[in-house]
Chain A
Amino acid sequence: MANDVILKVQNLDKSFGGLHAVDNVTFEVPQGFIKAVIGPNGAGKTTLFNMIAGTFAPDSGLVTLKDKVLTGLRPYQVAELGVFRTFQNLKLSSHMSVLDNVLLGRHTAGTAGFISGMLSLKKSRIEESDAREKVLEILEWLNITEIMNKEVGNLSFGKQRSVELARLLAADPEVLLLDEPAAGLNMHETDEMASLIVKIRDQGRTVLLVEHDMSLVMDISDEIVVLNFGQKIADGTAASVQNNREVIKIYLGGEDD
C-alpha cells in the first residue's frame, strides 16, 4: 500500500438514544482508492457517511482529510475542502434544468458574490463561462448532453443519478462519497455505474462508497470495510474480506457458531 492516506476516520462514535449506531469505528482511505463500506441494514453505514460529510457531528472521534480536521464542520465547509457526496435517494433541484443542476456543482470553484452577480461584473462573467465550458465537457463525458435543457424533475431515476454524478464531478472533487450509487438502477445501469466509478478513480480521485450491491462492491473496490451493528468487523481487500469468517457469518447466517 504505497498510497498516502487521504481520509482518516478515527474512533468515530454515535448513539441515537439507546441505539449505538456507530461504535468506535476506525479506518483509512488511501489516495486514489475505491473503498467500500458494506454491512447489513442498520449496520451504521449511512450514519457513518453523514458524519464524514458533516450532516451531523459524531459524539466522539475524528475525521481528517490529509492534515485537516473535518469533524465539526458543516456540510458546505466539508465540500469547500474538496469532499463531495451524493445521496441514496437523490437530492437534486428538481425545478431546475440539468445544466443548472450541474452548474451548481461548480459553486465552490467560483468566488463571485451577490454584488458581482447583480452587476454582472467581469469576474462573474468569466467564472460563468469557465463553469459552462467545464460542465459541457462533463455532460459529454457522461453522455447526457442531449438532456441538458430538460427539467430534472421530469427525468427517469437512472438519468437523475447521472445528473447527480455529473454535478459531483463538476465540483472537481478530491474525495467522492457515494451513498448507494447503484440503488434503483437496473443491471445494465449498474454495470455502467461501476465502470464510471472505476474511470473516476483512474482520474486520480478517491472514492468512498456505501453499497448494497455485493457484486458491484467486490468488482470495483480496492478495499472494503465491513460494519455490523455499528462495529467494524473487517477491513481489507475484497479477497481478504470475502474469506473473513465473521463476514461470512453475518451474510450467510451463523449456524456454525
Chain B
Amino acid sequence: MKLKRYYPIVLLAGVLVLIQLLTLITGTAYYLTQLTMAAYYVVVAVGLSMVMGYAGQISLGQAGFFAIGGYTTAVLTTIDLTKQINRPFFAFLDNIGLLVHKVTLYGDAIVHLTPWISFILALILAGIIAYAIGVPVLRLKGHYLGMATMGFGIIIYRIVLGTHIFGEADGISNVPAFPILPGITIGGDFSIRVINYYAAWFFVILAMVLLLNLINSRTGRALRSLHSGEDAADAMGVNTAQYKVKVFVIGAVFAAAAGVFITHYNGGIGPSESSVTKSVRYVAIVAVGGMANLWGVLIMGLVLNFLSLRGLFGVYDDAVFGIILVVIMMFFPDGLFQPSSLNRIKRILRGK
C-alpha cells in the first residue's frame, strides 16, 4: 500500500527522461528551458493545491510568497559586500566560506553572500510572513479569505514595484547562479541546461513525495477534514486554527523555494512575478487540475506553464488563464481529471 503511492513518481521520472531524450534526438533542447521553469511553477501549484484543494483555504496571494523568495535571494546575492568585508561579522562569514568573491564583466572585484544562505533566509522569511498573515487572516472563510489574501498579494506587488532596493519596475538582474552541490548549479547557462532540467524536476518530485506522504498521514487527514467539516474536525480534537496556519506556511515555503530557484535560473526577477494575475494563474492551475488532486495539478501546471512560456497564448496570456478559471468554475468544478468531467467533455466533443 505504501509503495503504491510512489509508482506514479517512478512513471513521472521515466516520462521526464523520455522528454529529455526526445529533445536531444529532435534537436529541440531549447524546450528544456521552459520545461525547467514550468517545473518551478508546478512546485508553487502543488503547494497551493495542499492549501486550497485539500485544506479548503483559498489563497489569492501565492505569487506574493513566490516573490518574497525570489526577491530575498536576489537582493542578498547581488549586494556587493566589498566595503563591509573587514567588519568582524562579514569577516567571520568570509572565513567560514559563506561569501563568494568574483570579478564582474567590467573587471571590478565584488563579494556577495552565497545563495545557500539567502535560500535558507528566504524560506524562513516566507514562513514567518505566512505565519504572521495567516494567524489573523485564516479566521476568515470563503471569499473573505480570498479577498484578504489577495490584499496581501497586492501589498507585496506594490512594495517591490515601489522600492529602490527591489529595483522598482526593472526588478533585479545579474543574480548569480546557485551552486547547490558539486556539479549541480542552478543557473541559465546553456552548458548546464540539461542538469537544470533534471534538478528542477527533482524538486517537483521531492515536493510530491512530501505532500503525498502528508495527505496520507494523521495530519493530512485532519487537513482534509477541514475542507467540508471544520466543526467535525474540531470535535474530534483537531486544532483547526493551528492546522490552517501550518498548511498556509507550507504552501508559502514551497512558493518561496520555487521563487528562489527560478530567480537563480533566470538570473533575475521582476515585479510581474508578484502580480495578482500570477496568483490567479496559480489558482487556475489548481482548479483545472482538480483542486485536491496533486497529480492533476502537476500535469496541468506543466502543460499550461509550458505553453504559456513558449508564448503560445501571445498577448492574451493572462486572459487565457482567466478564461480557464471561469470555464472550470462553471462547467468542471471538480477539475478535468474526474470521471464526471471526462464524460462531459466526451459529450461536448460528440456534439451532445
A binding-site residues for B, Cβ under 8 Å? 53, 55, 74-76, 79-80, 84-85, 87, 91-96, 100-101, 103-108, 110, 112-114, 116-120, 124-125, 127-128, 131, 167, 171
Q: List A contacts of B250 (CB < 8 A).
A: 114
Return the chain A residue nearest B210 by Cβ.
A118
**Do A92 and B218 touch (CB < 8 A)?**
no
Q: List B contacts of A84 (CB < 8 A).
A: 235-237
A74 to B235, CA, bound (A): 9
Please count how many residues in chain B sit with their CB below 8 Å of the partner chain's CB atoms.
30
Q: List B contacts of A104 (CB < 8 A).
A: 221-222, 225, 232-233, 236, 238
**Do B229 and A114 touch (CB < 8 A)?**
no
**Do B227 and A131 touch (CB < 8 A)?**
no
Expressed in whole angstroms, the minimum distance between the Cβ of B308 and any Cβ of chain A is 29
Cβ of B239 < 8 Å from any Cβ of A?
yes
**Do A117 and B232 touch (CB < 8 A)?**
no
Q: A95-B224, A118-B210, A118-B213 are known; give 16 further A-B pairs, CB within 8 A.
A: A55-B231, A74-B234, A74-B239, A75-B234, A75-B235, A76-B237, A76-B238, A79-B236, A87-B235, A91-B232, A94-B228, A113-B219, A116-B219, A117-B218, A117-B220, A118-B211
A-B contact pairs, 18 of them (CB 8 A): A55-B231, A75-B231, A76-B233, A84-B236, A84-B237, A87-B231, A91-B231, A91-B232, A93-B224, A93-B228, A95-B292, A96-B225, A103-B221, A104-B232, A114-B246, A127-B218, A167-B236, A171-B237
Q: List B contacts of A107 (CB < 8 A).
A: 218, 221-222, 236-238
Partner of A53, one of B2, B228, B235: B235
A125 to B217, CA, bound (A): 8
Expressed in whole angstroms, the minimum distance between the Cβ of B63 and any Cβ of chain A is 24
Q: List A contacts of B218 (CB < 8 A).
A: 106-107, 110, 112, 117, 124, 127-128, 131
Expressed in whole angstroms, the minimum distance between the Cβ of B296 and any Cβ of chain A is 15
Cβ of B173 < 8 Å from any Cβ of A?
no
A63 to B238, CA, bound (A): 21
Expressed in whole angstroms, the minimum distance between the Cβ of B219 and any Cβ of chain A is 4
Expressed in whole angstroms, the minimum distance between the Cβ of A64 and any Cβ of chain B is 19
Expressed in whole angstroms, the minimum distance between the Cβ of A151 and any Cβ of chain B is 11
A87 to B227, CA, bound (A): 18
**Do B217 and A108 touch (CB < 8 A)?**
no
Return the chain B residue nearest A82 by Cβ.
B237
**Do B236 and A105 touch (CB < 8 A)?**
yes
A223 to B236, CA, bound (A): 26
**Do B237 and A94 touch (CB < 8 A)?**
no
Expressed in whole angstroms, the minimum distance between the Cβ of A123 and any Cβ of chain B is 10
Q: What mask results when residues 224 to 268 of chain B are scored 1 for a CB within 8 Å of chain A, else 0? A: 110111011111111110000010001000000000000000000
